[in-house]
Amino acid sequence: MCKQLGFPSSYRIMEGEPVNVKEFQELARQALPKMYYDYYTGGAEDQYTLKENVEAFHRITLRPRVLVDVSRIDLSTTVLGYRVSAPIMIAPTAMHKLAHPEGEVATARAAAACNTIMVLSFMSTCTVEEVASSCDAIRFFQLYVYKRRDVCAQLLQRAERNGYKGIVLTVDTPRLGRREADIKNKMVAPQLKNFEGLLSTEVDDEEGSNLEAFAKETFDDALSWRDLGWLRSITNLPILIKGVLTREDALKAVEVGVDGIIVSNHGARQLDFTPATISVLEEVVHAVGGKVPVLFDGGVRRGTDVFKALALGAQAVLVGRPVVYGLAAKGEYGVKRVIQMLKDELELTMALSGCSSVKDITRSHIRTERERLQSML
């Protein structure tokens, strides 16, 4: 269990401790300027997929087994050979210093304390070196591919030198999705420390989001499958691709030799009306056929959500917004509480479902909406 730390009285929090992950969102709303809160919470366009990412979990029910010895529950598992305390990882989310002064350093320390993996965002507000020196967390590094390939290469080399264990290539962002709250708020991206001396993130756009203008200037929208060869040529680290939603792309990913797949719709921030990630997870798992690990990202708010994703074939889940909400509300302590809440809920779900270890969670432990409808025919 994560050791609890005190936190400064200056944090603005509601009376009493949150009892679930969802309550951290309200604490974050109180703590953050509106521009930053909207940035973290918002999705693309009508935000249909944003809602679906969470609500699709509600349409999957559990099928518990009884009279199973659950006096000891083992949550631990491995991801790319690294042992973690539970199948719950920290997803790459940008600019943590907008949420808390210690930024990604606080998040990494929480990951280390909870013995899990943190994926550091390419758009972090702490450098790869600062995060690496802050703790002994297992760290992966997220990569966007820019038109300036030399910038990408230098950051990858720095990550590798500083002990990062894997690369998470985000593949669903040839352009930035239309995030209307950021446009209304005229969202301004700070200068990112990783790019100092390499690239300026200062872009003038009086009409809308500075972040969108920066992405339009820098993101390489010509990126394609053949560029995996280029990426392989500049790093020795395992490569996972994040942003796969279809059987076709899963098969292609295996064909080009990736080391893992993350089923993700970018937290519903890119293309609205894509399916909820939990609704396509099984399609990707079946396509891959166990050749590479499949991880899951999108909409996890409860331990039961983690259980459902594992039952559908995910090796682990990544958690994004709840981690940022915990960070905004209570810093490192808040991130640790979010992770621990999910672990505690997962443990209880496993006990009440008759699963003493993660390996015991099977497809037969859940019932999807499609199966429910078919049974009514």
Q: Cα separation of 24 and 326, whole Å?
A: 6
Residue 211 token pair: 């972040």
Q: Cα separation of 245 and 277, whole Å?
A: 7
Distance from chain centroid for Cα 151:
23
Q: Cα separation of 315 and 359, whole Å?
A: 10
- CA distances to 121, 311, 356, 361, 371 from 61, rounded to whole Å, are 33, 11, 19, 14, 10
Q: How many CA atoms lie within 13 A of 358 on its CB side?
A: 24
Annotation says 365 is catalytic: no
Of the candidates 99, 27, 112, which has an alpha carbon nearest to the alpha carbon of residue 331? Answer: 99
Q: Helix-strand-coil percent breakdown of the chain, rounded to 5?
A: 45, 15, 40
- CA distances to 197, 221, 249 from 146, rounded to whole Å, are 16, 8, 21
Contact 328, 334 (CB under 8 A): yes
Q: Which of 58, 266, 286, 365 is catalytic?
A: 266
| Active-site residue list | 266
